[in-house]
Structure 1
Amino acid sequence: MVSLAHRAVLLARPPQFAGIEAPSVPDVVGRARLDDAAGEGAFRQVRQAVLAWLGGRKAVEATLSSGLHQLDERRTLAVANTYADDGTEAATRIQLNERNDSGFWSTTMTACTQTHGGLVISVELECADLAHGVHPQPPGLIRELLDVLPVCDGPSRLTRMPIAIHAEYVDYLRDVLMSPDRRMPVLVAAKPLAHHGTWERRWRDITRGAAGMASLYLLTDLAAVDAFRGLVYEYHRVAPGAVRTFLPEVDPAWRADGHRHRVLSFGRLSDRADHAWSNVVGSVQQMSRSAAVPPSLNEVTFPGIDSETAARARRHALDAAADTGTGEGDLRAEIAVLTGLLTEADTQISDLTAGRERLARQLAAAADAHRRSEDDLDLQVVEHMETLAELDQARAELKQLRSILHRRGRSHDAHPHLATPSPPAGFEELLDRIGDLPLIAFTAERRRALELDDTDARRAPVWAGKAWQALRALNSYAEHSTSPTGFPGDFYAFCHRPPIGAEPFPANKVAMDESDRVQNHPAWAKERMLPVPPVLDPTGVMLMTAHIKLESRGSISPRIYFVDNTAGPTGQIIIGFIGRHLTNTMT
């Protein structure tokens, strides 16, 4: 059995091949890793997959014998093998390089034995000098390997096409999701209630892009959907037409865990103008980038076409130079030999320089990733401390109120059983819930809010939860403002000193105006001309400066912009914007 992952990283290693114009430093845009490929025929099956892939690319009579093969003026095929002391094959490397109108492409497949048995296989796609608009996709060789090798991730089979799950097999799917041995994501889709061409095309594109990087499953009908929901509860369910990305370590009994596993609804998948489906593949590939390369792959060398061949060529060249005579012809021959050695030295220097650049880029990327992780951790610590402070304050107030009720003989009122709805898992669910708030009028672009779900899948549930609290606070303020007694202040005052029965939002997250510099900057002010009902302005837009901060740090820092029209013709709060931070002096 084997387990496979796909990984996209940056790597600067320009390979040198005869007959191919040297590219600029290429990027590795795809890497698939297969572990523990068992069986005596594993190497044979790997070659079978390579030949099938080469045949699909119309390679001319491709041969997999060791050496460098010039397929044509634009393509070379390099093959190398190593053997153990007992003569058994230990590793093989096959590399196809081609330059065409779209750029330089190099696909490398490396397979080697592991100390505990079986094979580990890597497939890499390197690209450079790409034409405008060309977007590399994972190597097609990955799918060929899936066809000939039994590939598994823990108990889950990895396949080119999704595995159909009928109602009687949902137990197996639940076990896959909960398995501690699984390290890759699982994509679970549920068929729509009716045929839908756009949905089917996009699900097909998702499975094609994620094959080998995630397990793929399809709930075949409503009976399977209902049976699956019965096992994983509402928190982890997959509705008809939806696609859910399950990360490792699923806990169906924990409501909060459901937020980790992102859902893309049928409405978004079937909307031709909505391209969020591509983020499903993108997130799977992003997760694959963190997969570690096994040491056996990093340590394997192929002297047959690398150092040994180069050393032999140098020895022959030096011997040829030493054996020349003193005549003019001999000297010319010696000069030619030495010129060749200089050319080879230049090539080696170029290789070393490229290697140094590769390491520098890797170090820079690692430093950037570390910085982002540190920033994210710092932000989470701050938010956690804020939450603890709010919780301590709420507990202190609750304790005091309960004491008062007990002293007044109303102990039964001190411990009410209140139903508390769970926060929305994302902005799509948030927008669906706004209708539950009668004094909130949402006129903003849905797209801007939904983009937050796509921008950062980990942070989006937190932002959506805060946005829901903010909207409920605005609705509570509107209720008090439009009541017979009214409220003598704006939303900030409401949050700073909330009246009895109010549902406030942290006042330090509320700003009732923008700075003069922002309002006087034409472009920045134009961004804040946001949609309103025509009864407020015949043009349909109005300058909005009052806003709520859903996050105070980072480049996204979502905001809610609103207009207080509780004293106007609508009697509502108008929400003109939910989305990432608009331009100001700090962006």
Structure 2
Amino acid sequence: MPPNMNRVYQAVLRDTSAPISLRLRRTFGDWLVAKGLPAPEVGKPSQEFETDGARVRMDRRADCGRYVLEETHESGLIRTQVTYAESVPGMTGWVVVRVEETGETDAWQAPGFVQAYLRTARITDGAVHLTDSADAVDEDDVHRLVHLLSHRGRRVPVVVVSVVPHDPQGARARAGHLADAVAGVGVVVRFADLRAQDRFNEAMGSRLGVFGGGVRTYVASFEPATESYPDRHRPMGGPTIRKQGDRALALVAGGAVGETCRRPLPEDVQRTYRIVSRILAGKAQTGDIAGAVAPRPVPADSGPGERLRRWMLAMNGRSVPPPAPASEPAADPGGSAPDGDVHIATAVETEPALVTQSPQPGVPSFDVADLARTVAEVVARELRGELEAALDLAAASAGNGSENGEMLRRMRTLGAHVEGLRDLVAVRQGGDPLLAEAEDESDRLAGEIDRLRTEHALLQEEYAEAVAGARKLEERVRWLETRLAEAGQPAFGLSSGEPPFEPTSLMDALNLARETLVHVEIGDTDAEATKLDLAYPTLARAWASKSWDALRALDAFAQARSAGEFAGGFFDWCRSSARLTIPAGMVAMSESRTVTTNGKYSARRTFAVPEEVHPSGKVLMEAHIKIRKGGYPAPRIHFHDDSGGSTGKIWVGHVGDHLPNTHTN
């Protein structure tokens, strides 16, 4: 995915009915025709055509294929990509549908062909039957709905629409609207009557129910009896829906679609997806798909959950039980599903791979509170020595200006990290929602592994970009050094003998910026920066370097503009030939209209400034720098440009993770 495109829809559709290609080509082709585009030619393995700003490419080779539609809109480009692979021994056939966009196109809904494709066969997410319409749940079906919500294999959110006694048709219409929007990435159900709704709420409890014409989205995974953070399953009240209408429903649908956008592909699909791409590029054979299906063997005693538990027990001075014997391999999660209708009564598959195994006898349970206390003790014990060593070094280096300043800066960075760790442990001991979800250790760690795989893929892309950029810079440096030598001048920077500053964390960069950058003022953002330093230690160094370069570029720009040497804005500065710049693609001088007009989002982007900058003492900082263009997390620097005003400075309000918007909420 190009770095300037955001993913706004991703569906993983398991299809056991062969062949996939005929049904998918027919429904995709009908969708193109409805858009006013030509119908695809039947039997042609590869074809490409372009009409009225839309470009279509369709490729098929043996048991796999890919369709791509690119449409140009006023606000940017929308790309719909459909990739499929037929069933092979050990793997159910699958279809991956992705929609990506540039700009703000509000494309957070299913492409128009998905509903028609779901009607062609029984299609699941691997465990849950995905339908093109909302299912009605009566009193007798409530227990099946509860089973659906708590099913361990469910990957998609379930949107439940409550009853409106005085407007039963309104609830039906809302459920139908939502079913169209989340087709392929969610299941929508509605209560047939108040008796069904009351019985459901009785089973859920007061904090997890839905009523009064409201809608609630139950994300995966979900266990009503142990759920400690009900708001994770996002409710929207009936009055809000009645007042805002389709706009409120769009937020509900966008939340459900966004939930699946951030999830990595299932492991078997991820492995075979790469093979399909190679086959379509002519770099692999169709038989390679079957070779990629077999799961990699993993010793029973080396799983991440078991390693973490044994490590924590050993560090806490407790006896460590011997490793459990190897278990039989689980069945393929994408296995074939039994036939059935689309009613909620058959919405859950009964595949053996998704049945939860009971814990090994004699193995202690995972004690979350004990873990928090142990982590706190270890952090305090280990970091106390580092703090004492830092104080000794600072005292010994008194009188040595540069070394003392560096040591004090490091102490401030370490102090911020210790403060962040203390807050983190305190919050988690008090019932942090993420830690509460970690009571099921194996599920949490499995999700973490999936997230790390996604992070690894993003890092590979970033590394490739960095290598390409480094090569260009090397060539430019050589050219400049050659010209300087021809002019009889020494090469720039070689005479100083000082290595460039390389921050090891965001706090390290912020502390040095406060000391050395005259035209940049950084506000109270240490807590946000520290969260990223502590949560992503392997990525924080790269983000710190980019942040340091960005702050230096802001300082150079403010110095030039306040002195009357430059008349444009920071984006123009980065597009100019000035020496201290960052890529202009990292800079956004405004937010979307949705963000600026929504008080909830704009308030999070309003930060303190002196009254000489604004009489209210605060200002909305729309301008921001994208330290990481895509993925999660996506650090940002939000700033206000007063370089041409009374202070002649840049005021930075936020250095931390991406602030909330309609896509993240």
TM-score tier, shorter chain, comes to 0.3 to 0.5
TM-score when normalising by structure 2: 0.42
Structure number having the greater strand percentage: 1
- Normalised to the residue count of structure 1, the TM-score between the two structures is 0.47
